[in-house]
Amino acid sequence: MKTPVLLCVLLFSQSWAFEFIIDGEWESETSGPLDQSGRYRRSVLTSEEEDFEAIQGNDITVKSYKVESRITSRFAHTTVKSSVFNSAPKAQSIGFNVQIPKRAFINNFTMNVNGITFVGSVKEKTVARNLYAQARARGKAAGIVRTNSQAMETFRTEVHVPPGSKVEFELHYQEMMQRKLGFYQHTLHIQPGRLVPQLQVDVYIFEPKGIKVVTAPNTLGEQFSDLTKITHTKEKAHVVFKPTVQQQRKCENCTESAVDGVFTVKYDVERESNAGELQVSDGHFVQFYAPSDLSPLSKNIVFVIDVSGSMWGLKMKQTVEAMKAILNDLSMDDYFNVIDFNHNVRCWSEDLVQASSIQVDEAKKYIQSIKPNGGTNINEALLRAVQMLVRASNQGLIDPRSVSMIILVSDGDPTVGEIKLSTIQKNVKRTMREDFSLFSLGIGFDVDFDFLERIALENRGVAQRIFANHDAAEQLKTFYSQVSSPLLRTITVHFPENTVNNVTQNRFDKFFSGSELIVAGKLQATDLTTLQSFTTASAANMDLNIQTEADILELDSELGTHQHSFTGFARQMWAYITVNQLLAERSLAPSAGRKRKITQRIVALALEHQFVTPFTAMLVEGEDEGRTERLIAGSSIDSRHGCCSATASLSGPIPVQQLVYQNPPWARPTDDPIPGGASNPVEATGTHEAILPEHVTIVENDPHFIINLPRSNMDICFNIDSKPGHILNLVSDPGTGVTINGQLVGSKKKKNNKINTYFGTISIYSKTDSVQVIVGTDRIDLMEDGNNHSFSWGVTAELMLNRIKVTIVKEQHVTVMIDGRISVMVLLHRVWKKHPVQVDFLGIYMSNDNKYSAKVHGLIGQFAQEPEVKVYGVHEGADPKKKEAIMEVKGNKLAVTRGWQKDYRLDKKRGSDVYCWFVHNNGKGFVDGSYTSYILPRLDSFLSAL
Ligand SMILES: *[C@@H]1O[C@H](CO)[C@@H](O)[C@H](O)[C@H]1NC(C)=O
Ligand SMILES: *[C@@H]1O[C@H](CO)[C@@H](O)[C@H](O)[C@H]1NC(C)=O
Ligand SMILES: *[C@@H]1O[C@H](CO)[C@@H](O)[C@H](O)[C@H]1NC(C)=O
Ligand SMILES: *[C@@H]1O[C@H](CO)[C@@H](O)[C@H](O)[C@H]1NC(C)=O
């Protein structure tokens, strides 16, 4: 009954170990180096780029073409399906071609030909090949995978089918979204090559933390911009494109399709400022970290530019244009130099120079005047660049917190001096220092990009191919902007002991603004309910330690309720990152034995997670009248680029580490259950000594000051009724250089005909350290000498700036400790967002043990030297519940009222009572002078003498 099917399969890769079959014959089965197949490869590239068509064949009917991507937590699973009918009167080959991103792994391919289903499974390459060879021996044959240039590869299948045949194709691939310049970009090539009755593209995004923005920019051209529909809720987005046949037409009556290009979805996720995001699903975890509100580190950059003869013309013109823009972007804190090389190496300046506008202009003139000619001496040029950085470092010109990098721009292989690539690689690695990075940009296709990539990977950088076309200058600038803003150095992500294993790369040399660091792994212990991670890093003038937490079950139960989410994402993401790391490690492995070991690990993972890698192939099998039919699809060794992220520079073999980390005591939130009842401060003092000193002066609510006087063993309270916006001085100490001010906010509405005021911002400024910490109800700013770092209340972190330690406990409190001597805790009070009256406000807690100088003053500071206080004549007041008394202080006799205020350190909702004697009239008589003399113009102002 079943008609015989002739399947035609080509196996091809951009790099060199390729084998392919035409009409069931292996035409070549070499696994040799590039030059054995290079010529053929290039001719394929050209035709490939010119006439890509998703479905090929004459006189065929394409009934449907559907592409669906499910992106969950930055991991994408894409399915491309098409249904085709051979309406020609004769047998013919029908081609199904898909452009897939180079970074993606094919997972599955199935085909149905006249009812016979062929199902794919990933096998070790030789196994697949042997099974395939058996099938071939019986005269059956198989499919194609072919890679081409750029960032895409082409998957290609051809089936030879009789007239009237119906063929259904289905391809699956997976990839991790990489954040660049602040966005994730998902691209799909939609080039059906003809009008299709059912043409549909769906992209579903699910991000547990929320989607900040999603767009489909310039997708397939102007004419379709209105046809692309985006729906978007907090965590989900759906982008759909479903043009009718009429809408697909290039012009009113033509049969050509205007749908021919790239469908792009760009998005970014919500994140708490500078907090990490930890997700756990299906026994795996993924930690994301993409801080943004940090001051950039300064840079030392040496640009090494190839000006050999081959750069002549457009390439040089574009390089000059890009370099001018790049140099303009340097800031006064940066140092730079330019080295240009052909057979000779010239340095624009002997040493690194500061990027002042004069120097930048000089350098631009120099670059403009370069006339490319001669050979290529990459070795000498790179060594000179490294020496220049080493010299600057030895001379103490390099700020230890700055970032040093070499950016190489080249379009050709070395022809002069040392030309052996492996020797150049060794020379550079030997001279580079651990804290320098090399980024390499290859222009055009005459350059051995694998070499540029190896040399970059080995030296903590990344490589990028620049296509030598009209927008080469734009590509260079874009690459530069990805590395121009380093925010962190030496980043390590670690986990408590015995909680995780098989962790992917968890140490990163640098973090660049707009990118993202990702660490994945498996959960170890089974009785965990939450997983924690700790990220340590250095920012400009600050060391930070961020804590992140995730519930083990929460995400899975949530994923289960969302249609179109990709439930296995964490497991596949872990495998994806691990395989890519192993591929990079393999390309740098020094011995064949080591390479073999790594290959085995790659194969094992690829089989388990169904990835077509350079070492696995997909065997596609079907049954035809009891006989097994097989086809094979795969790619070849080294065709894939190893590095996992532009942000995460690998250095040498992957430094994955199992780290032991203790949960630091400061990371404990205040609303942890306290043994013995939450509202009894006395019982709790022992356990929370650091943040719960016994003698503490408090400002809470609308603002109520509670001054603790330990010698007299009493608390005195007063209110300050000032105006919203006013800045009040709390502590002003010219001796230690510390000033603490608070700014008032008003409630949203009047209550009892009066706007209540609260502290909305607290500033703690240490003049000696030139550090100011501004705690607001929405964020926490740390400023140091022109650097400005912001954190949201959603982060748990410990930060060190000079002698200042800032501890943030998520949504709870911030403690600022100056030189271990002065400590202030600011407690966050959040109200319901739509509360008609109340606003978010801050409470302030200062230990009486703070070591101020004798000159300290301020509404609170003046009580550091405890005044003599006498309270007597206690009697019933107008309100029977409130006793009254006389207080003698500072030579004044005041009428005071017994009352109580709240200490919210242990129970933020109800607080615990602090009994105090209340002084009326804004503390008149108790506080030196009038409260108005404590009003200051700025948050960092000191109080002048009263
Ligand atoms: C590949 O897809 C086919 C058809 O959808 C399915 O039956 C098969 O289980 C898939 N294979 C894998 C490994 O997911
Ligand atoms: C398209 O075809 C219709 C019917 O044949 C004709 O009336 C119309 O003018 C054509 N339009 C164009 C732009 O050629
Ligand atoms: C600090 O930076 C944040 C954003 O990064 C900005 O909103 C804030 O105004 C800055 N603060 C100061 C005092 O410059
Ligand atoms: C994961 O870690 C365990 C324990 O360290 C080890 O035995 C196993 O081989 C690792 N698996 C992979 C895939 O790396």
* Amino acid 926: pLDDT: 96
Quick one: average pLDDT of 797-803? 93
pLDDT tens-place string over residues 194-225? 999 999 999 999 999 999 999 998 778 778 88
The answer to whether the CB of 658 is under 6 A from ligand 4 is: no
**Ligand nearest to the CA of residue 246, numbered in listed order:** 2
Ligand 2-lining residues (CB < 6 angstroms): 252-253
Residue with the smallest CA separation from ligand 4 atom 2 is 502
Secondary structure class of 63 (helix, strand, coil)? strand
Nearest to 176 by CA among 75, 70, 287: 75
Give the mean model confidence (pLDDT) for residues 350-356. 95
Average pLDDT of the segment spanning 587-616: 93
Quick check: CB of 501 below 6 Å from ligand 4? yes
pLDDT digits (tens, 9 = 90+) for 253-301: 888 999 999 999 999 999 998 999 999 999 999 999 999 999 999 999 9
Residue 685: predicted pLDDT: 30
Residue 115, pLDDT > 60, answer: yes
- Return the ligand 2 atom nearest residue 251 CA: 13
**Which residue, among 896, 900, 893, has the nearest Cα to 877 in the 3D structure?**
896
Where residue 750 falls among pLDDT bands split at 50, 70, 90?
confident
Mean pLDDT calculated for residue range 444-457:
89
Ligand 2 center to 254 CA (angstroms): 10
Instruction: Point out the ligand 1 atom lying closest to the alpha carbon of residue 117.
Output: 4
pTM for the model stands at 0.86
Judge whether residue 856 has pLDDT over 80. yes
Cβ atoms 628, 116 nearer than 8 A: no
Q: Are 764 and 772 in contact (CB under 8 A)?
A: yes
Which of 495, 500, 502 maximizes ligand 4 atoms within 8 Å of its Cβ, making it the mutation to test the pocket?
Answer: 502
Residue of 942, 758, 284, 250 whose CA lies nearest to 556? 284
pLDDT band at residue 184 using 50, 70 and 90 as cut-offs: very high
Q: Which CATH superfamily is domain 299-484 in?
A: von Willebrand factor, type A domain (3.40.50.410)
Q: pLDDT tens digits for 396-450? A: 988 988 999 999 999 988 999 999 999 999 999 999 999 899 999 999 877 888 8
How, if at all, do strands 236-241 and 261-269 pair?
A: unpaired
When pLDDT is averaged across residues 747-759 and rounded to a whole number, the result is: 88
Query: b/e per residue, 552-581, with b = 16+ CB within 10 A?
Result: beebeeebeeeebbbebbbbbbbbbbbbbb
Q: Give the Å distance between the CA of 606 and the centre of ligand 1.
A: 15
267 closest CA partner among 61, 442, 35, 516 = 516
DSSP state of 931: G
Strands (E), 524-593: 530-539, 542-551
The atom number, within ligand 4, closest to the CA of 601 reads 13
Q: How far apart are CA 706 and CA 861, in angstroms?
A: 13
Which of 675-689, 690-704, 733-747 comes out lowest in average pLDDT?
675-689
Residues 368, 320 contacting (CB under 8 angstroms) = yes
* Residues 809/813/818/821 CA torsion (nearest 10 deg): -110
Closest ligand relative to 790 C-alpha: 3
Average pLDDT over residues 586-612: 94
Q: Give the ligand 2 atom nearest the CA of 252.
A: 13
The confidence score (pLDDT) of residue 221 equals 76
pLDDT surpasses 90 at 14: no
Reported as a pLDDT band with limits 50, 70 and 90, residue 79 is very high
What is the structure's pLDDT at 821?
94
Write down the pLDDT at residue 533. 95
Are 363 and 327 contacting, i.e. CB atoms less than 8 angstroms apart? yes
Indicate the pLDDT class of residue 150, thresholds 50, 70 and 90: low
Annotated domain spans of the chain:
299-484, 678-936
Phi, psi of 573, deg, nearest 5: -65, -45
Asked if the model's pLDDT at residue 378 lies above 50, the reply is yes
Q: Give me the mean pLDDT over the 634-641 stretch.
A: 36
Q: Which of 272, 513, 774, 788 to mutate to test the pocket of ligand 3 (most atoms within 8 A of CB)?
A: 788
Comparing 670 with 358, the larger pLDDT belongs to 358
* Probe residue for ligand 1, chosen from 105, 108, 170 as the CB with the greatest number of ligand atoms within 8 Å: 108
Pocket test for ligand 4, best of 497, 498, 501 (most atoms within 8 A of CB): 501
CB distance 110 to ligand 3 below 6 Å: no
Q: What percent of the chain has pLDDT over 90?
A: 64
Confidence of residue 641 (pLDDT cuts 50, 70, 90): very low
108 within ligand 1 shell (Cβ under 6 A): yes
Mean predicted lDDT score pLDDT of the chain: 84
- Residue 331: Cβ within 10 Å count: 11
pLDDT at 601: 97
Segment 806-829, tens digit of pLDDT: 999 999 999 999 999 999 999 999
Predicted confidence band at 381 (pLDDT cuts at 50, 70, 90)? very high
pLDDT of residue 625: 57
Q: What are phi and psi of 585, to 5 degrees?
A: -65, -40
